[in-house]
Amino acid sequence: MDCLKELCGILCINKPEGFTSFDVIAKLRGILKMRRLGHTGTLDPMATGVLPVLVGKAAKACDILPDHDKIYEAGFHLGVTTDTQDVTGTILSQKTAEFVTEETLRSTLCRFTGNIMQIPPMYSAVSVNGKRLYDLARQGIEVEREARPITVYSLELLSYDSNENSGTFRIACSKGTYIRTLINDIGEALSCGGIMTSLVRTKACGFTLDDCTTFEELQKKADSDGINESILFPLEKLFSELPVICLYGAQERMYRNGVKLDINRIKYTEGSDRYCIYGNDKFLGTAYIDKEKGELRSEKNFFD
């Protein structure tokens, strides 16, 4: 068996502009010569930045990631709206934004922080009645969408040119937040409209741009030394915020065999429902505690 198929861990890619998240996976399959890859969240083609890719057995972690929060730096321009809510779309309206000062803009931002409701844009992968919104949008069809709860932890104005009505935001937010919609809604609140002109994801799943590699760097390594796990972050880094339970001897063997363990016989820190499980100092997977039955139950295992 090709040793590359045994790779397991997290590969952080600095996604280039023009690539979808699925394009990144396709490109990596060619470089790594393996198919079992998964990404941790979509990025629009115009966006760049942090895209953690799950390699090998790590791909099983897609649906149990504990940290979905992200940080972005987004360019914006006021006085314009488009059908895609960004600079790539067709212009729908143009209004003066000369009255928007930096002070006016800053005073508006507080309305868009905390727990808020957001209506997904038509150009998005959200499904309504079994159909992707972007497919309907391309047919000129607009449907009613339900607002969804999101959290904007912080919304910082990094720069603003009142002559050009353009600037940059830094946004820390929860999973499911559409940055271009956030900018569109800020523009609506200012009565002039607004579009996103650029987007860089600077942090995702606990990883930053400093953790990322590029396609070119990866291909160079593949052509010279070959690809090995030295380029990957260990899978357990995704779950570093979870408390740890260590199993030894008979308890580890029982756990590996699917036996639910008595929590009264396990050392663990209370206050959490989910835990990282280690056996003989090796990451085994994640588990949760069923307090009603007094059992430790496996959630997802990553051992052979």
Number of domains in the chain: 3
Given this model, what pLDDT does residue 42 score? 82
74-125 per-position pLDDT tens digit: 999 999 999 999 999 999 999 999 999 999 999 999 999 999 999 888 776 7
Among all chains, which residue has been given the structure tokens 């730096």? Answer: 73
CATH of the domain at 136: 3.30.2350.10
**Catalytic one of 23, 44, 67, 86:** 44
CATH of the domain at 293: 2.30.130.10
Alpha-carbon gap, residue 157 to 169, rounded angstroms:
5
Assess whether 90 and 213 both reside in one domain.
no
Assess whether 141 and 246 both reside in one domain.
no
Mean pLDDT value across residues 5-12: 85
Q: Do 76 and 182 contact (CB within 8 A), yes or no?
A: no
Assess whether 96 and 58 both reside in one domain.
no
Lowest-confidence segment of 106-110, 123-127, 140-144, 214-218 by average pLDDT:
123-127
What's the pTM value of the predicted model, to 2 decimals? 0.89
pLDDT for residue 147 is more than 80: yes
Average pLDDT in the chain: 91
Given this model, what pLDDT does residue 3 score? 41
User: Which range of residues forms the domain containing residue 247?
Assistant: 242-301
Mean pLDDT value across residues 153-163: 97
Looking at the chain, the number of H-run helices and the number of E-run strands are 6, 18
Centre a 10 Å sphere on the Cβ of residue 263 and count the other Cβ atoms it contains: 18
| Percent of the chain whose pLDDT exceeds 70 | 97
Number of Cα atoms under 13 Å in the Cβ half of residue 190 = 33
Cα-to-chain-centroid distance, residue 186 = 23
Cα–Cα nearest to 69, from 204, 171, 179: 204
5 pLDDT tier (thresholds 50, 70, 90): very low
Assess whether 200 and 86 both reside in one domain.
yes
Assess whether 108 and 199 both reside in one domain.
yes
pLDDT for residue 2 is more than 60: no
Assess whether 127 and 191 both reside in one domain.
yes
Q: Which comes out higher in pLDDT, residue 37 or 128?
A: 37
Assess whether 214 and 179 both reside in one domain.
no
pLDDT for residue 279 is more than 90: yes
Centre a 10 Å sphere on the Cβ of residue 280 and count the other Cβ atoms it contains: 10
Mean pLDDT value across residues 259-279: 92
Given this model, what pLDDT does residue 282 score? 93
31 pLDDT tier (thresholds 50, 70, 90): very high
Assess whether 149 and 229 both reside in one domain.
no
Structure tokens at 49: 């930045």
Assess whether 224 and 273 both reside in one domain.
no
Given this model, what pLDDT does residue 106 score? 96
Assess whether 8 and 123 both reside in one domain.
no
Structure tokens at 3: 């040793």
168-200 per-position pLDDT tens digit: 999 999 998 999 999 999 999 999 999 999 999
How many degrees, rounded to 5, is the angle at CA 50 between CA 34 and CA 115? 125
Q: Is 161 a catalytic residue?
A: no
Assess whether 122 and 197 both reside in one domain.
yes
Lowest-confidence segment of 60-69, 127-136, 183-192, 268-277 by average pLDDT:
127-136
pLDDT for residue 32 is more than 50: yes
Q: Do 200 and 71 contact (CB within 8 A), yes or no?
A: no
Assess whether 197 and 285 both reside in one domain.
no
pLDDT for residue 4 is more than 50: no
